[in-house]
């Protein structure tokens, strides 16, 4: 048993917890808990999950996971060991998409020219179909045109609208029905309402990138975290600046969690695997400031200024 495993097992014994009880608390299978105590991280599904399981184990027995990661750095596998292979595959996929896009762009000018020619032809045909027939002619007066038109040019006849004559009663007096004026519609200007704003105020790169946002213009603060594909899974921590923990475990299998944080002033999101997790703030998507494919583990701080 490694020194790290002895430390964890001793902390578990001090809390009188069995591996079965710890399994129910952390949702981690017992065989993985035993492997952590024995220092056999190679039986884990990957380095990322080995670190995530170790962090959940430490928190469940009252130990500081960050301190353990620092103290036993040589025993604990690094999470970024798995990233290069994934990055290589992603770059290959991006290159293939770029090649297909370049082929399409090479044909784009030809397509645009064809569409433009068709539009001009259709416009010309439509204009000729709807052109009014010429009737009547301009009368010649003193050898000059009428209304600025030259001699010989025909204009469409304009018939004066028939004016309805007032009805005459038997006594010869005309009677007209009173006309009620229609009041003009008045536009009502609705008062402008403040809109929610989520402003990025700081971002810090490092081993664990941190991005800070400020949420204003609303009295509602709600966060929804979703595993974006059925096989996606990630450790997630949701904690307020007052020390209250809303969530500290793994989210997987396309599930989602929603948290009402309207009573908090500042909340930290600890996303262990950003490529598998989507974030909504009051129903609006929150993109990662750092590319998820390059920075798998990220932290996000949201400061809430209630309206």
| Mean pLDDT calculated for residue range 145-158 | 49
Tell me: the pLDDT tens digits for 177-222?
Answer: 555 555 554 444 444 445 899 999 999 998 899 999 999 999 999 9
Residue 141, pLDDT score: 46
Nearest in space to 74 (alpha carbons), one of 2, 156, 151 = 2
Tell me: the pLDDT tens digits for 269-292?
Answer: 999 888 889 999 999 999 999 998
Rounded Cα gap, residues 32 and 27, in angstroms: 11
pLDDT > 90? residue 68:
no
pLDDT > 80? residue 242:
yes
Question: What does the domain layout of the chain look like in residue ranges?
Answer: 3-81, 197-304
Residue 64, pLDDT score: 92
Residue 81, pLDDT score: 54
Q: Return mean pLDDT, the chain.
A: 79
Tell me: the pLDDT tens digits for 3-20?
Answer: 888 888 898 899 999 999
Residue 147, pLDDT score: 46
Tell me: the pLDDT tens digits for 164-174?
Answer: 555 545 554 45
Rounded Cα gap, residues 137 and 14, in angstroms: 111
Q: What is the pTM of this model?
A: 0.39
The more confident residue out of 258 and 145 is 258
One-letter-per-residue 3-state SS of the chain: CCHHHHHHHHHHHHCCCCHHHHHHHHCCCHHHHHHHHHCCHHHCCCHHHHHHHHHHHHHHCCCCHHHHHHHCCCCCCCHHHHHHHHHHHHHHHHHHHHHHHHHHHHHHHHHHHHHHHHHHHHHHHHHHHCCCCCCCCCCCECCECCCCCCCCCCCCCCCCCCCCCCEECCCCCEECCCCCCCCCCCCCCCCCCCCCEEEEEEEECCCCCEEEEEEECCCCCEEEEEECCCCCEEEEEEEECCCCEEEEEEEECCCEEEEECCCCCEEEEEECCHHHEEEEECCEECCCCCCCCCCCCEEEEEEECCC
| Mean pLDDT calculated for residue range 40-45 | 85
| Mean pLDDT calculated for residue range 44-58 | 89
Sign of CA dihedral 263, 269, 270, 272: positive
Determine the CATH number of domain 3-81: 1.10.260.40
> Which band of pLDDT confidence, cut at 50, 70 and 90, is reported for residue 91?
low
Residue 209, pLDDT score: 93
């Amino acid at each position: 048993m490694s020194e790290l495993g002895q430390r964890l097992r001793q902390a578990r014994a001090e809390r009188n917890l069995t591996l079965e009880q710890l399994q129910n608390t952390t949702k981690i299978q017992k065989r993985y808990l035993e492997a952590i105590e024995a220092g056999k991280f190679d039986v884990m599904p990957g380095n990322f999950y080995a670190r995530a399981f170790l962090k959940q184990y430490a928190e469940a027995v009252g130990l500081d996971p960050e301190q353990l990661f620092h103290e036993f750095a040589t025993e604990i596998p690094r999470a970024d060991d798995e990233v290069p292979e994934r990055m290589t595959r992603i770059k290959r996929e991006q290159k293939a998409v770029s090649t297909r896009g370049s082929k399409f762009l090479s044909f784009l000018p030809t397509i645009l020219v064809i569409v433009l020619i068709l539009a001009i032809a259709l416009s010309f045909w439509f204009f000729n179909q709807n052109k009014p027939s010429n009737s009547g002619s301009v009368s010649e007066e003193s050898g000059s045109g009428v209304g600025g038109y030259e001699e010989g040019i025909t204009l469409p006849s304009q018939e004066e609208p028939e004016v309805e004559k007032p009805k005459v009663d038997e006594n010869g007096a005309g009677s007209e029905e009173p006309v009620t004026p229609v009041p003009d519609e008045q536009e009502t200007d609705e008062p402008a309402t403040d809109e929610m704003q989520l402003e990025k105020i700081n971002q810090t790169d490092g081993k664990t990138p941190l991005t800070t946002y400020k949420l204003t213009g609303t009295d509602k603060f709600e966060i929804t975290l979703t595993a974006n594909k059925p096989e996606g899974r990630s450790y997630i921590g949701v904690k307020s600046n007052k020390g209250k923990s809303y969530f500290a475990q793994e989210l997987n299998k396309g599930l989602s969690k929603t948290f009402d944080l309207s009573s908090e002033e500042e909340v930290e999101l600890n996303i262990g695997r950003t490529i598998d997790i989507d974030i909504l703030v009051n129903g609006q998507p929150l993109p990662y400031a750092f590319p998820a494919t390059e920075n798998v583990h990220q932290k996000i701080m949201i400061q809430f200024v209630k309206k």
